[in-house]
Amino acid sequence: MNNVALVYLNSFAVLVLLLVLRNYRRKLKSICCEEKVFILFIFATLVMLVDEAAIENLWGVPGQAIRILLYILQTLDYCLAVAIPMLWLYYCLFRIFHISSIGWWLRCLVALPAMLYAFVVLVTLPGGGAFGISENNQNILGIAYVGSYVLGFMYIAAAAVIILAKRKTLNRGELIPYLLVPVIPVTLALIEIVFQSLTGLMWAATSLVILEIQMLVLNNRTNIDHLTSLNNRMALDTYTRRMMEECRGADKPLGLIMIDVDDFKQINDRYGHIEGDRALKATAEILRECFGGRYFIARYGGDEFAAVLKDCGRELMAQYLKKMEDERIRKNIEISKPYAIRLSIGAYIFRGSEIVNLHRLYMKVDELMYRDKNAKKKTAATVG
């Protein structure tokens, strides 16, 4: 790619990133940790685009001042080539694990390879080990070139492994985009390494990837419950209405489950609202282990949750209800709290002819859920 074309391409990519950054102005104090990392990811990519365009247009330009400038810009280029994939790994950790609860040791461990790489580049730079610049100001490759690609691929691979391993924690529709995020830049990087062609396209392609992530971030703000990271009531209503139309038209069954956390008010009153939030998060994790990645789950509101099971028969419903109880028992053992998470459940399979409107669906399953809750209270009173 010639230098003029690269300048135009990178200028367009920079404009895209500036438009993305515009969504975050005056919001830094209020946004979550993962979005702050995402902003750093955007900013680093933006700097890389400017840096790359400047470098490509300075190669071969004579002069000692240009030579010094090229050393500075090329060092920055190699360091950013590692820092950007590292920030993507950080973003995945924040998104999946809500890393604010993870110690500084892990954050430092993630940054350690990048810091060692930057140190080696700076130490070997005077001797030409990292890279060199010839007398006529042309690039001489060194260990920094190979190291940037190796470390960059390692960070991206680590992020992909984490996404696959914890895919149940992601909301419906997030898995494939997150896995595809590095595909275009990595593919272009491999082409650049092997064939020495398409030079300069990788970081411009990354800006389009960032735009895709931004769309997911905005979608999460609208459709995701901020406490449990499950889908919220608005997303549940939208999805259930779509499933109603599909199942009614094809005369297929639609399973709906409503879940209520028993004695949630007592948990709040006795142990505090922070512990109450933890109980809700634990319930969300139970549902993810049961339904995550396959069926739609949401926080209905307060201490109530819902799961929508498309093409669900009686046998399948029974399997999932048992699985939910098994996961509930396992989670109580895992969290080892002074209280036990107990759930009242209403489950019903609607046939096509029964699907009238959303309100009736919710009312039917809600009634079954409260029957389950009242039956438990009567049993407890009898035993007492």
Determine the 3-state secondary structure of 293 from DSSP.
coil
Query: In this predicted structure, what is the pLDDT of residue 144?
Result: 93
Query: In this predicted structure, what is the pLDDT of residue 317?
Result: 93
Mean pLDDT of 287-310: 90
139: burial class by Cβ within 10 Å (0-12, 13-18, 19+)? middle
User: Angle of helix 183-195 relative to helix 143-165, nearest 10 degrees?
Assistant: 150
> Taking 90 as the threshold, does the pLDDT of residue 330 lie above it?
yes
Q: Where are the domains of the chain?
A: 3-223, 233-383
Mean pLDDT of 356-363: 88
Mean pLDDT of 243-260: 88
Query: In this predicted structure, what is the pLDDT of residue 106?
Result: 81
Query: In this predicted structure, what is the pLDDT of residue 384?
Result: 52
pLDDT band, very low/low/confident/very high, at 138 (cuts 50, 70, 90): very high
Query: In this predicted structure, what is the pLDDT of residue 247?
Result: 84
Amino acid at 37: V
Query: In this predicted structure, what is the pLDDT of residue 32?
Result: 67
CA distance 225 to 277: 12
Mean pLDDT of 268-283: 91
pLDDT band, very low/low/confident/very high, at 201 (cuts 50, 70, 90): confident
Task: Name the percent of the chain lying above pLDDT 90.
Answer: 43
Q: What is the pTM of this model?
A: 0.70
CA distance 332 to 196: 56
> Taking 70 as the threshold, does the pLDDT of residue 193 lie above it?
no
pLDDT band, very low/low/confident/very high, at 3 (cuts 50, 70, 90): confident
Query: In this predicted structure, what is the pLDDT of residue 172?
Result: 61
- CATH level 3 topology of 3-223: Rhopdopsin 7-helix transmembrane proteins (1.20.1070)
Query: In this predicted structure, what is the pLDDT of residue 143?
Result: 92
Q: Does domain 233-383 have CATH number 3.30.70.270?
A: yes
> Taking 70 as the threshold, does the pLDDT of residue 99 lie above it?
no
DSSP string, 210-260: HHHHHHHHHHHHHHB-TTT-SB-HHHHHHHHHHHHHHHHHHT--EEEEEEE
Question: Judging by DSSP bridges, how do beta strands 343-350 and 304-310 pair with one another?
Answer: unpaired
- Per-residue pLDDT tens for 86-98? 999 998 888 777 6
Question: Is the Cβ–Cβ distance between 156 and 85 less than 8 Å?
Answer: yes
Structure tokens at 39: 């902003």
Q: Measure Cα distances from 313 to 191, 254, 318, 351 in Å.
A: 49, 8, 9, 10
Task: Name the percent of the chain lying above pLDDT 70.
Answer: 89
Angle at 144 between CA 142 and CA 149, to 5 degrees: 115
Of 4-18, 30-44, 47-61, 214-228, highest mean pLDDT: 47-61
> Taking 80 as the threshold, does the pLDDT of residue 355 lie above it?
no
Amino acid at 334: E
CA distance 50 to 60: 18
> Taking 60 as the threshold, does the pLDDT of residue 102 lie above it?
no
**116-120, 122-126, 163-167, 276-280, range with the lowest pLDDT:** 163-167
Compute the CA torsion angle 47, 50, 52, 57 (nearest 10 deg).
-160
Mean pLDDT of 189-208: 71
> Taking 90 as the threshold, does the pLDDT of residue 319 lie above it?
yes
- Name every residue whose Cβ is closer than 8 Å to that of residue 242 and which is 6 or more positions away in sequence: none
Structure tokens at 254: 């639609």
Question: Tokens 């010094």 identify what position?
Answer: 68
Higher pLDDT residue, 104 or 263? 263
- Per-residue pLDDT tens for 74-89? 999 999 999 999 999 9
